[in-house]
């Protein structure tokens, strides 16, 4: 972003005379550089207003602060607003709509980040494509991405996430998609919902974009009334179901795992719609790669680790367990699933039941697994439960042996991928 500070201030109804040009936007004081505009967000653990001195020393030209802030300015021009997060979102909307690129918006409970990467990779063979980095799909992450986008790409592939109803609608208002993609819907981030149908309805907010031309949905989502009754033109994707508009009959996916095949089809469906041929898609698919901590295969000490530890929901747990390579012995290193609300106990029980039928040895972290007590032998399988990751890692080092396949899967807060450092 390159915009005069006085024009940004005027957007918020403030008057500044300085001619400084804002070249970067930050919410983390450690990422501030010369020419940055800092948004002093207040979170549960950290308050951005406490870092204004550091922000000034790093070269920021101004900071957006709360009306309630009464502290020093440390040489910064301060733009006071009622709601700093809303100010970030409003500015992102203003700046982004002036560029007005073709937007592909993605959401879903499982595989949306991978789908974003796959779509961007395929389309980049024919178009200039910008994608939201990593998993910056939140009420803060997406606006920040848009404000710092300096390119002139013709297509933007944007992931849109949520924890509560209305959050995707807000992101859609900021960056209205022309095409919408919905991967599988399941019990992920379900803490504020009473049913999976409510989750599907909240996810379908992505299709309320005023620019929406066509929607691409996993065939399983047809079960949800709110999706089935959408009036938009639809493309259903599924690896094998003949009720889908696109299957694997005409395309050979570069992955054996079923959940990655589903994600590949979502990307292929979008690419076909935008004019790429089957041959072009097939050729481009050879450049598709799995993302870090998302079903990555890593071999250490003759042990095959499946690092799928970025995050976990009941559906993604089931998919990971069902797609493990057929090796002699399978070990699960599973962290608990967070933000499930009233679905917590039933979800962990279902995953445990499937894990026991799939794995030979299971090491679990978190008291959510206490529905089965520590060191139980169930159906000839050993299940061990630990409250501390450190103790669980020590046990994994004792259990895992050459020739094993070890699945690392759990909520992001556990950072289970760090266990690989012990090998």
List alpha helices for 105-147, DSSP H.
112-123, 141-147
Give bridge partners of residue 234 from the DSSP assignment: 215
89-287 classified as CATH 3.40.1190.10: yes
pLDDT, tens digit (0-9, with 9 covering 90-100), for 229-280: 999 999 999 999 999 999 999 899 999 998 999 999 999 999 999 999 999 9
Residues of the chain with CATH 3.40.1390.10: 3-82
Whether the pLDDT of residue 32 is over 80: the answer is yes
H or E element at residue 346: helix 344-358
Torsion of CA 223, 226, 228, 229, to 10 degrees: 150
Confidence bin at 2 (pLDDT 50/70/90): confident
Contacts of 276 (CB under 8 A, 6+ apart): 122, 123, 125, 126, 284
| DSSP annotation of 318 | H
What pLDDT, on a 0 to 100 scale, did the predictor assign at position 373? 63
Task: Report the mean per-residue pLDDT for the chain.
Answer: 94
Residues of the chain with CATH 3.40.1190.10: 89-287
What pLDDT, on a 0 to 100 scale, did the predictor assign at position 374? 54
pLDDT, tens digit (0-9, with 9 covering 90-100), for 63-78: 999 999 999 999 999 9
Class level of CATH domain 296-422:
alpha beta
Q: Of the candidates 178, 179, 143, 147, which has an alpha carbon nearest to the alpha carbon of residue 161?
A: 143
3-82 classified as CATH 3.40.1390.10: yes
Q: Determine the straight-line distance between the first and last CA of the chain, rounded to whole angstroms.
A: 43
Residues of the chain with CATH 3.90.190.20: 296-422
pLDDT, tens digit (0-9, with 9 covering 90-100), for 270-314: 999 999 999 999 999 999 998 899 999 999 999 999 999 999 999
Mean pLDDT, residues 404-409: 97
Give bridge partners of residue 22 from the DSSP assignment: 3
pLDDT, tens digit (0-9, with 9 covering 90-100), for 352-398: 999 999 999 999 999 999 887 656 667 778 899 999 999 999 999 99
Question: Read out DSSP for 196-226?
Answer: HHHHHHHHGGGGG-TT--EEEEEGGGGGSHH
Residue pair 136/163 in contact (Cβ under 8 Å)? The answer is no
Q: Of the candidates 108, 164, 161, which has an alpha carbon nearest to the alpha carbon of residue 132?
A: 161
Token pair 């159906």 is at which residue? 379
Contacts of 206 (CB under 8 A, 6+ apart): 105, 106, 107, 160, 168, 172, 177, 180, 182
373's tokens = 């007590």
How far apart are the C-alpha atoms of 158 and 132, rounded to whole Å? 5
H or E element at residue 332: strand 329-335
Confidence bin at 326 (pLDDT 50/70/90): confident
């Amino acid at each position: 972003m390159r915009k005069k500070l006085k024009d940004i201030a005027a957007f918020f109804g403030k008057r500044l005379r300085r001619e400084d040009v804002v070249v970067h936007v930050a919410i983390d004081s450690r990422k501030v550089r010369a020419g940055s505009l800092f948004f002093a967000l207040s979170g549960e653990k950290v308050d951005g207003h406490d870092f204004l001195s550091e922000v000034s020393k790093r070269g920021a030209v101004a900071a957006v602060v709360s009306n309630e802030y009464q502290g020093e300015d440390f040489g910064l021009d301060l733009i006071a607003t009622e709601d700093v997060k809303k100010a970030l979102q409003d500015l992102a909307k203003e700046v982004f709509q002036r560029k007005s690129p073709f937007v592909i918006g993605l959401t879903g409970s499982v595989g949306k980040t991978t789908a974003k990467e796959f779509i961007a990779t395929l389309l980049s063979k024919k178009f200039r494509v910008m994608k939201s980095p990593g998993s910056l799909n939140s009420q803060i992450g997406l606006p920040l991405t848009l404000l710092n986008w300096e390119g002139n790409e013709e297509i933007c592939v944007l992931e849109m996430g949520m924890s509560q109803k209305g959050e995707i609608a807000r992101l859609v208002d900021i960056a209205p998609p022309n095409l919408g993609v919905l991967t599988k819907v399941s019990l992920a981030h379900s803490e504020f919902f009473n049913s999976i149908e409510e989750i599907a309805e909240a996810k379908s907010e992505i299709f309320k974009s005023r620019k929406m031309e066509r929607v691409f949905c996993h065939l399983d989502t047809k079960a949800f009334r709110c999706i089935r009754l959408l009036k938009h033109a639809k493309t259903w994707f599924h690896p094998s179901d003949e009720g889908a508009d696109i299957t694997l009959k005409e395309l050979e996916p570069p992955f054996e795992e079923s959940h990655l095949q589903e994600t590949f089809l979502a990307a292929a469906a979008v690419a076909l719609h935008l004019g790429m041929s089957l041959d072009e898609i097939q050729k481009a698919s050879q450049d598709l790669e799995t993302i870090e901590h998302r079903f990555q295969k890593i071999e250490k000490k003759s042990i095959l680790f499946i690092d799928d530890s970025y995050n976990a929901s009941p559906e993604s747990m089931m998919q990971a367990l069902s797609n493990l390579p057929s090796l002699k012995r399978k070990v699960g290193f599973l962290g608990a699933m967070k933000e499930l609300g009233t679905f917590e106990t039933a979800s962990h029980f279902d995953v445990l039941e499937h894990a026991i039928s799939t794995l030979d040895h299971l090491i679990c972290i978190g008291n959510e697994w206490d529905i089965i007590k520590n060191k139980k032998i169930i159906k000839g399988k050993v299940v061990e439960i630990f409250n501390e990751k450190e103790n669980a890692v020590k046990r994994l080092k004792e259990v895992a042996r050459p020739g094993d396949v070890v699945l690392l899967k759990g909520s992001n807060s556990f950072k289970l991928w760090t266990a690989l450092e012990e090998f």
